[in-house]
Structure 1
Amino acid sequence: MNRMISLTTLATAALLSACSSVGERGAMASGPMATATLEPTRGNTAAGTVTFQQVGDRVLVTAKVSGLKPNQEHGMHVHEKGDCSSGDGMSTGGHFNPDAKPHGPQGGDHHAGDMPALTADANGNANASFQLTGVSVGGGAADLVGHGLIVHAAPDDYKTQPTGNSGARIACGVVKLS
């Protein structure tokens, strides 16, 4: 019986130690956060919030967007300039691309601003969570902070250079440290 209690005590201590270590590593791995508040461009209804958090060498992206075309994919990209003043989103310039790479999906060569598409449900709402590589929040050449975030009217084909043929810019926001 004492041996069973000792084994249980050891197992509990090992489990608590492992949880503590994971918690400490998780806290150390998490870094700065940034947020883009998306507003509709002229004549559109898409709006929402996208957060970016540095987690180790990756950036965790969480998006919540409404006012999209129901049951459709919409391209979403970080653009060069943090300027949504034009009304049509064109003041953000082209895709953010500090390494002069071709446009493409996350699995291959791609612009720093290339991201997975948003998929709207039957009510025109999209909730997405994914990780990006090759970018950062709050420092370095591929820092997303200060750049424009655009949601497009159409899906990204991940082939057409340099834009992905994603159509009109239906929502615009600026990525800001939060």
Structure 2
Amino acid sequence: MKKAIMFTTTLMFAVALTGCASDKEVNPLHQEEAIPVTSHTPIDVNMVNTEGVKVGTATLTETTEGVKIHLEAEGLEPGTKAIHLHETGKCEAPDFKSAGAHYNPGQREHGFDNPKGFHAGDLPNIEVTEKGTVNVEITATNVNLKQGEKNTLLDEDGSAIVIHAQPDDYKTNPAGNAGDRIVCGVISKK
């Protein structure tokens, strides 16, 4: 009798372990495929330079204050640079004009200091260190990552993050005299 109980217990334990092992092998892949992009799913954006080479990453996360952008990049010219959200999710090197104009669903003028502004895609300038690196967090308060909602960065053609060669003067329409587009990253549903 003891042998029969022990065998049954051992068999049940083995079956339980097999069930756990198969869950671990199957579910992570299945769950990964089943998770849709939601307002709480961070979006990683590859940032590329004018030669199409990846120079960094921007991670976008929905918060109660807006979309938090954590940008890390290297290989840039030191100094103050403009950074903006653009209306189209295309980053065709070398000029990134494919990203279109600033993200501006409210049809306003450019710049925080412009009485007719500002675009939803206008962001504060960033500082690139003497080593050519940047590691910064910015919150874009007038946009979101909620598909189908007003001011979403995840519309049908996506949007882009663009770093410019010069600082934004925060007043000159249409782009704050920010100069050439030197780094670009596509924001999309994927």
TM-score, scaled relative to structure 1:
0.74
Which amino acid letter does the alignment assign opposite residue 172 of structure 2?
T
* SS at 1:130 equivalent: strand
Match of 1:102 in 2: 109
Give the whole-Å Cα distance in 1 for the aligned partners of 2:167 and 2:54: 15
Q: 1:31 aligns with which of 19, 40, 49?
A: 40
Report which of the two structures shows the higher radius of gyration computed on alpha carbons: 2
Q: Note closer, same or farther for the CA distance 1:128–1:155 as it changes in structure 2 (3 Å cut).
A: same
Q: Percent identity, aligned pairs only?
A: 34
Q: Where do 1:44-55 residues align within 5 Å? A: 47-55=55-63
Which amino acid letter does the alignment assign opposite residue 152 of structure 2?
D
Higher RCO (C-alpha 8 Å, min separation 6): 1
Query: Unaligned 5+ residue runs, structure 2?
Result: 1-38
Cα offset, 1:76, TM superposition: 0.7
Which is strand-richer, 1 or 2?
Answer: 1
Give the whole-Å Cα distance in 1 for the aligned partners of 2:42 and 2:110: 25
Give the whole-Å Cα distance in 2 for the aligned partners of 1:115 and 1:49: 17
Give the whole-Å Cα distance in 1 for the aligned partners of 2:69 and 2:53: 22
Which amino acid letter does the alignment assign opposite residue 39 of structure 1?
V
Which amino acid letter does the alignment assign opposite residue 168 of structure 2?
D
Which amino acid letter does the alignment assign opposite residue 88 of structure 1?
D
Give the number of aligned pairs: 147
Q: Is the 8 A contact 1:89 1:172 kept in 2?
A: yes
Match of 2:72 in 1: 64
Cα offset, 1:45, TM superposition: 7.2
Q: Confirm whether residue 136 of structure 1 aligns to residue 144 of structure 2.
A: yes
Give the whole-Å Cα distance in 1 for the aligned partners of 2:65 and 2:99: 26
Match of 2:174 in 1: 162
Which amino acid letter does the alignment assign opposite residue 91 of structure 1?
S
Q: Is the 8 A contact 2:46 2:54 kept in 1?
A: no
Give the whole-Å Cα distance in 2 for the aligned partners of 1:115 and 1:38: 17
Q: Is the 8 A contact 1:45 1:68 kept in 2?
A: no
TM-score, scaled relative to structure 2:
0.69
Q: Where do 1:137-152 residues align within 5 Å? A: 137-139=145-147, 140-145=149-154, 146-152=158-164
Which amino acid letter does the alignment assign opposite residue 176 of structure 1?
S
Q: Note closer, same or farther for the CA distance 1:46–1:74 as it changes in structure 2 (3 Å cut).
A: farther
Q: Is the 8 A contact 2:73 2:134 kept in 1?
A: yes
* SS at 1:31 equivalent: coil
Q: Note closer, same or farther for the CA distance 1:124–1:46 as it changes in structure 2 (3 Å cut).
A: farther
Give the whole-Å Cα distance in 1 for the aligned partners of 2:54 and 2:95: 12
Query: Unaligned 5+ residue runs, structure 1?
Result: 1-29
CA RMSD of aligned residues (A): 2.4
Deviates more, 1:45-54 or 1:110-119: 45-54
Cα offset, 1:176, TM superposition: 2.9
Give the whole-Å Cα distance in 1 for the aligned partners of 2:185 and 2:167: 19
Match of 1:176 in 2: 188
